[in-house]
Amino acid sequence: MKPRRTKTLTAAGALGQSAAVLSLLAAGLVSSAVPAYAADDVDEDGDVVCTHTANTKGGEDIRCELRIMDDMVIRGTEGADTIVVSIVLLPGDFPAVGEGARIEGLGGDDTITVLYGRGGGIAGTVDGGDGDDTIEVRAFSSDDAPREGVMAGGVVSGGAGDDSITIEGQGPGMSDRAGTAANAGTVDGDDGSDTITLNGGTRAAGNIGTVDGDDGRDRIFATGGEGSAGNGEDGVITGQGDEITLAGGGAGGAGNGAGAKVDAVGGKVTATGGPGRGSGEGGTGGTGNAGQILGASDVQLTGGQGGAWLGTGGTGNSGTVTAYSAQVTGGSGSENAGSGKPGGNGGTGNTGSVRATGSLTVTGGAGSDGGDGGDDSGSGSPGGEGGNGGTGNTSDAESATGPLRVSGGAGGRGGAGGNGTDPSGGTGGAGGRGGNGGDANTGTLTGTDTPGSAVTGGAAGAGGRGGTGVDDRTDGKDGQAGRGDAG
């Protein structure tokens, strides 16, 4: 089945028949007995591709099932429509919605859903039009998506109104290759206070294209798949006064990746690295920001937690940041992986460049606590050492008016020794040593003379309590505290 090219499929109007059906009537392709608001659109073979049913919201429920949508227009009414377009079978490397195709909600609070199969997603245009619209673009399943939800050249626009746009990257449901980014084209909220959500597929970024909240107080979310950035390489997110939240995927994905840019004039940007891979000796947590974040009113960057076991926390910032105020924090060390295991070390706060007009806080990540030793009838096992705190700043941190506060991360607590449980001669295990507090600064600081500024080393981790033996002579020794207060 091949749909008719350059055909406009519109909902039935006040006079009963859609423009598309009227043209088909004139061509003799459908019967003149088609009733009002039951106008079904057909292709050149006479097969129905779209059905129209009146709804209770002054619009229509429009269901379209196609093998490919090429140079076609599917258009709703000025009422509140529900439009579902399913591209059911498209093998090969082709867009489901081609470059010349359009899906338009027109007026009203419309709901538009585009489901695509074995090809790519949107290379044409989806436009909600006026009204508070809900737009969703996704593949049928994780096995069906070798291309992005919105491909290069594709456009999804909310139109005027407070819109919700959700785009899902996919699969691929195979272990030997990555999935797809949610957006490689253009997503535009247009006028209104919009919510835009981009979720990357397996090992793929949420965004590698262009996102613009446009006018209004928008919220933009971009989340990476496993090991990938929320906003990936070449991704650009623009907003004015918007709230932008970026999250890296598990296995160490960055919140805002290398080569990515966020231009957030007067807005708030939160970027968090994903947790490190949890296998073997544990992976390092992802970086909060490895790209550019410019012009925001407030920036909050956090490295991801290290993966179990012994994974180091991620760096808060390794890229470039300019903002009115900023808080940059290294990720915490991995949680200990069991009895007597050591805690992971905290990540560095800043290894890049952070310049704030007002307050700037840079903190190394905290070391995690060591694991408690296990009890035993003979001798309790020793507790694990606490992880060391991360360094606050190793590069360039500047505050024009202050305050500038820089501190190392706190060391983790040593694990408690296990108890010797045999009443005839059990021996307690030694407590683990506490982790060292991190250094505050080994780089360049500008603005430490402003009121309220401080440069402080991280607090030492406390030593673990020794385990209990059969009497005082066989109790385990308490662990030593780590080194702290290194400025």
Q: E-strand spans in 411-476?
A: 444-446, 454-456
pLDDT at 22 over 60: no
pLDDT at 417 over 80: yes
Per-position DSSP letters for 22-90, written without gaps between them = HHHHHHTSS-TTPPTT---EE-TTS-EEEEEEE-TTSSEEEEEEES-B-S-EEE--SS--EEEEEE---
pLDDT at 190 over 80: yes
Mean pLDDT value across residues 122-132: 94
Give tens-digit pLDDT for 70-119. Answer: 778 899 999 999 999 988 755 555 677 888 889 999 999 999 999 887 66
pLDDT at 115: 86
pLDDT at 470: 73
pLDDT at 23 over 90: no
Q: Which of 11-20, 200-209, 267-276, 431-440 has the lowest mean pLDDT?
A: 11-20
pLDDT at 35: 30
Q: E-strand spans in 67-216?
A: 73-75, 82-87, 95-97, 102-104, 111-116, 120-122, 125-127, 134-139, 155-157, 164-168, 186-188, 195-199, 210-212
> Count of CB atoms within 10 A of residue 359's CB?
21
